[in-house]
Amino acid sequence: DGESLDVNPISEVDIDNGEMFIGMLKAAYQLMGDYKCVHWNAKGRDFRELHDSTNEYSLEYQVDTIGEWCVEYIGYAPHPSNLCTTPERFTYSDGYDLDTGFTLLQESIHEFVSTLELYYCNLPHDIQNILDGWIREWNQKADYLMSRTLKV
């Protein structure tokens, strides 16, 4: 069609690997803390279901994996106590029943997934492949499994 575009290519994009990997690690720790809080403070007729369904072992693997990426890409992984900068988000003085616990965890899962998606496009392809599975897994938990339970 004969049209040409005048595009000025950029020479380099400055991406802070530390911010990306530590941001993902913080978000994973926050989600793990939220799961533990609901797990420890479960109550009510559905105590066993809530207590058992909040033993999230895959999250421990994901935190460890992100920590390993920190070391690989930025040279270190921060101490976990330095990652816990978010004030407590849940009030648990009276514990959590199934509906309250799942609703809070759905919000936490969406925040974690949003963080993964925020950094996704700037990550190496092999890490993107891993995150694809994690994002699918967490969205399924929040938007299908927990939602189906809450609709009863």
- Contact call for residues 77 and 25 (beta carbons, < 8 A): yes
Instruction: Give pLDDT tens digits for 32-76.
Output: 989 998 999 999 999 999 999 888 777 999 999 999 999 999 999
Instruction: Give pLDDT tens digits for 105-145.
Output: 999 999 999 999 999 999 999 999 999 999 999 999 999 88
Note the pLDDT of residue 16.
Answer: 74
Instruction: Give pLDDT tens digits for 5-37.
Output: 666 665 555 567 889 999 999 999 999 989 998
Q: Is the pLDDT of residue 93 over 90?
A: no
Distance of CA 118 to the CA centre of its chain: 11
Note the pLDDT of residue 56.
Answer: 74
Phi first, then psi, for residue 151 (nearest 5°) are -80, -10
Note the pLDDT of residue 9.
Answer: 64
Note the pLDDT of residue 14.
Answer: 55
Q: Please choose, from the candidates 117, 147, 138, the residue with its C-alpha nearest in 3D space to the C-alpha of residue 32.
A: 138
pTM (2 decimals)?
Answer: 0.84
Note the pLDDT of residue 8.
Answer: 64
Phi first, then psi, for residue 121 (nearest 5°) are -65, -15
- Contact call for residues 70 and 24 (beta carbons, < 8 A): no
Note the pLDDT of residue 148.
Answer: 85
